[in-house]
Chains A and B, each alone.
Chain A
Amino acid sequence: MTPTGDELTGRSAAELAAMVRHGDVSAVEVTDAHLQRIAALDGDVRAFLCVAEGQARAAAAEVDGARGRGEALGPLAGVPVAVKDMFCTKDLPTTCASRILEGWRPPYDSTVVARLRAAGAVVIGKTNLDEFAMGSSTENSGFFPTANPWDLGRVPGGSSGGSAAAVAARFAPLALGTDTGGSIRQPAALCGVVGLRPTYGRVSRYGIVAYASSLDQAGPFATTVADTALLLEAMWGHDPCDSTSIPSAPEPVLASLEDGVAGLRIGVVEELADVDGIQPEVRAAVESARRLFEKAGAEVDTVSVPSVEYGLSAYYVIAPAEASSNLARYDGVRYGLRAPASEVAAMNAATREAGFGAEVKRRIMLGTYALSAGYYDAYYGQAQRVRTLIIRDFARAYERFDVLLAPTSPTTAFELGAKTSDPLAMYLSDVCTIPTNLTGACAVSVPAGLDGAGLPIGVQVLAPALGEAVLLRAARCLEAGFNFTGRPNLGRSTLGEA
């Protein structure tokens, strides 16, 4: 018997891939089920900037055709994936949620998207974000804000808020995000899904629009740790088009997912567990995680990483500095928006004035200042030294521990508009996630239940660079322990509520 639409959208990616492979359902049926759910519910959530109805059906039909011809199917064959609109897609506009790139169609696919397509995945649409990934609430989108599926009056986090919301709302079982300062993990926490930021250099940056090149890294969103691993294995690995891509082959993660944490040494980062402004329920969730680890046979202790308190400051020098250079190319000369003016410099200025939002302008100015003659050493140079210090502190922590535990976000989802007028308060949302970006390591956010207001809480597991296998083993342990099965109630949905 053919499963119904909501039965399909409730399935994990692994289940859907297996069903398609076995012929229990066609890829087109899977895609249609998700497209229908998007059509019914995304008017409220607004996770997508663009839904790729035609392209998605065509891609799904190709999967069905390949199966019909008896061809081998990729690991994600027929599985819908929502793609953050920072990834270049040659058949779909790529805007970075910026007016300055409105309507731009790249002539090429990013490496990650190309790999997912080769694995049989169906790109179902491009998701909303804070413009050029600058923000923590998706309210900085140049087009519209995205709502948190758990409470439409609240933010989904950011900058990959559209992707996190899309997975939480079951518009797609998988989504792609980018994480420069926490932009995968923080919205994953706020939306009650799993979000992984891989080791810098593990996932190709080729074709992902750059925000802060030394910090940017793409990663997966999913509803389960196993699906996260499945998507990770389809997207990562060396890419000759990215000079910072790590040449060695990654260690598989799916195979060791159920190996448990017995004997692992796990450190609770005290500076982050007690970070200023932490919501008591988040603090309690970290404590619960600690007990789950202990119950599963891990040795847990607290660890001090004193320099993390400078992470936020270092990040807000380095990221804007790199961004000020990366975003210089949006000048109206070659693509995207062009504001009319009588000569080139005036045209550049008018285009950038009209095309960039306030937060983007703020960071371009911050970064330009930090790099300018006479200030470089005091700002950019100093921030890099802090970065080195943080790397050293974490290296010391990892001498004693295999993985670390921390909150993902100090709070659960806040109300739309609550922090838009206070950039510093907004920046503090990333205090627990930023250290991983500065060190180039990996970390994952795992759902840990709901707070008193019924909003998801995320806890974060951190591992050293290239530690994805042990990281996901630990995450799987927490997933099993928390056994979070909650689903947001999206009104018209008939999907089984918790």
Chain B
Amino acid sequence: MSGESWEMVIGLEVHCELATETKLFCGCPNDFGAEPNTYVCPVCLGLPGSLPVLNERAVEFALRVGEALHCDIAEESIFHRKNYFYPDMPKNYQISQYDEPVCGNGWLQVGERRIGVERAHLEEDTGKTAHVGGGGGRIHGADHSLVDYNRAGVPLLEIVSKPDLGSPEEARAYVTELRSVLEAIGVSDVKMEEGSLRVDANISLRPPGSEKLGTRTEIKNMNSLRSLARALEYEAGRQAGVLEAGEAVFQETRHWDEEAGRTHSLRSKEESHDYRYFPEPDLVPLLPSDEWRERVRAAMPELPAARKARLLSAWGISDVEAGVLVSTAGLADYAEAAVAAVSAAGDGAADGAGRAVANWVTGDLLAHLNETGAAPSALSLSPAGLAELVRLVADGTLSRPLAKEVLGAALAGEGGGSPAAIVAERGLAQVSDERELAGVVRAVLDAHPAEVDRYRSGEDKDRKKLRGFFMGKVMAETKGRGNPQVLNRLLDATLAGS
């Protein structure tokens, strides 16, 4: 993309799988990873004669999202049929909301900017097709195709942003923020890799300062935040090239190829389907009562932005740390539980517990999570275990380096995840006993008379080096368990004295 000659206009459509127990229009389990075609019934298979019944929980989740995104909740919204033929769609129409969605006209605060939310509407997911034999999973060259309808009828909420995003980074930040909101209000697993959060992007270019929107393309198939940013970057560059060659951008849907790092044309608007939307006659209008909406509003949990502000001031942690805590699934819950456990113990560790916990959680613990892909709730080190560790450091039992070692062991499942147990098993407790340590210092200095002499008569530069040498030796003698502050004091006193 050539310099600043173009301004990007980006809008995102986020499809969020709602984490309801059952599907949108039937009682089949809404669950990922079961044997193909085991979570199916006449309704989600679209068998002749079957009829949809709307899942109340899915509506409640939509209402929660509406609240969180400051949307207008429609007093009456209806479902439409979107008609097109596709083998993984059992009825060959999708029940979706069209011009009367449940949520409209909201916004999401992303950093300093307020990004508009056009609408959020309920719809059913499709099944999944697998192409077998020959084509390496692609339809071209495949011998035949298999369809798994377990996902057919899973509730989706499509959240459509206004074209308010100006860069791939901003798009990424928007999805990050939206994801933490959806997670915080408990409506979705928000796993892009498993497809429970899917993002399509609309992007167009225009000269800076122009009010008029350029022709947009829609990009699909980005299954991580990173590929979202890469795809937008690529597509902006491609469109700039087209425009700068004096040609026109073609309104079309383009497919992001993660491996090739480029988008390619999927279908143009001209050959696109006429979906023949019409009101779904098998469902009645959705009329959420005032009481229901009030109940949802009253039960709204704290949203990530508010939580971040609270943790910032309560724990005295950095903006970055607070941001990481609230934007990583389950991390802030974990950290708050740990801090609560420290405080509950009622000892001196409560002061600065927030900072200490945040430090561990956003450091070693997050690194472990990223490495293993585990959720915080699944760690062998529980929040109570982390609280134990923080207290062991605060009361001087563990030095920081030892604490790091214990944390690693606890995350690996050692000692049943209990830092105290690991300290006992490994005999890691810090030694602060002056008499014991004085003996060690004395023995080390006695064993190195030449170095002691050189220290006492030497230049400042040599003294510093030798001081480090002695410290290393006494630490080695105590197997790293000696309290560094006590050892330092004893070393200085002994070297200065006899």
Contact = CB atoms under 8 A, between A and B. Distances in A.
Given A213-B282, A325-B278, A329-B92, A240 B85 contact: no
Given A213-B281, A243-B282, A110 B85 contact: no
Interface string A328-342: 110101110000000
Contacts of A242: 51, 53
B278 A108 contact: no
Interface string A173-189: 00000000000000000
Nearest to B88: A333
Nearest to B45: A334
A321 interface: yes
Interface in B32-55: 42, 45-54
Interface range for A: 35 or more
Interface range for B: 20 to 34
B274 interface: yes
Query: Which secondary structure dominates chain B's binding surface?
Result: loop
B90 interface: yes
A94 interface: yes
A371 B93 CA distance: 13
A373 interface: yes
A321 B83 CA distance: 11
Contact of A243 (B83, B85, B93, B284): B284
A257 interface: no
A235 to B, nearest CB: 15
A348 interface: yes
A150 interface: no
Contacts of B52: 243
A311 interface: no
B42 A108 contact: yes
Query: Which secondary structure dominates chain A's binding surface?
Result: loop
Contacts of A209: 48-49
A386 interface: no
Contacts of A240: 53
Given A244-B284, A333-B147, A371-B278, A325 B83 contact: yes
B283 interface: yes
Interface in B155-193: none
Interface in A107-151: 107-108, 110
A101 interface: yes
Interface stretch (A33-41, A157-165, A200-208): A200-208
Contacts of B276: 324-325, 368, 371-373, 376
A88 B93 CA distance: 21
A475 interface: no
Given A331-B87, A331-B92, A344-B87, A206 B281 contact: no
B121 interface: no
B281 to A, nearest CB: 4
A88 B48 contact: yes
Nearest to A206: B51
Interface in A334-369: 334-335, 344-345, 348, 368
Contacts of B42: 106-108
B70 interface: no
A321 B280 CA distance: 12
Interface string B253-296: 00000000000000000000010111001111000000000000
Contact of A244 (B48, B147, B282): B282
A328 B83 contact: yes
Contacts, number: 98
Nearest to A205: B51
A322 B90 CA distance: 17
A214 interface: yes
A324 B48 CA distance: 14
A329 B90 contact: yes
Contacts of A394: none
B81 interface: yes
Contact of B50 (A206, A244, A372, A373): A206
Contact of B53 (A243, A335, A345, A368): A243
Contacts of A110: 49
Contact of A329 (B54, B91, B277): B91
Contacts of A107: 42, 47
Nearest to A344: B87
Contacts of A205: 49, 51
B377 interface: no
Contacts of A255: none
Contacts of B282: 210, 213, 243-244
Contacts of B91: 328-329
Nearest to B52: A243
A33 B386 CA distance: 81
Given A244-B282, A331-B92, A344 B145 contact: yes
A88 B278 contact: no
B119 to A, nearest CB: 20
A207 B91 CA distance: 15
Contact of B281 (A96, A322, A335): A322
Contacts of A425: none
Given A107-B42, A344-B145, A348-B85, A241 B51 contact: yes
Interface in A4-58: none
Given A213-B282, A243-B51, A322-B281, 17 more contacts: A88-B49, A209-B49, A241-B53, A243-B54, A244-B284, A324-B276, A328-B91, A328-B93, A329-B46, A329-B90, A331-B87, A334-B46, A344-B87, A344-B145, A368-B276, A372-B276, A380-B278
8 contacts: A205-B49, A206-B51, A242-B51, A243-B52, A324-B83, A325-B81, A331-B87, A376-B276
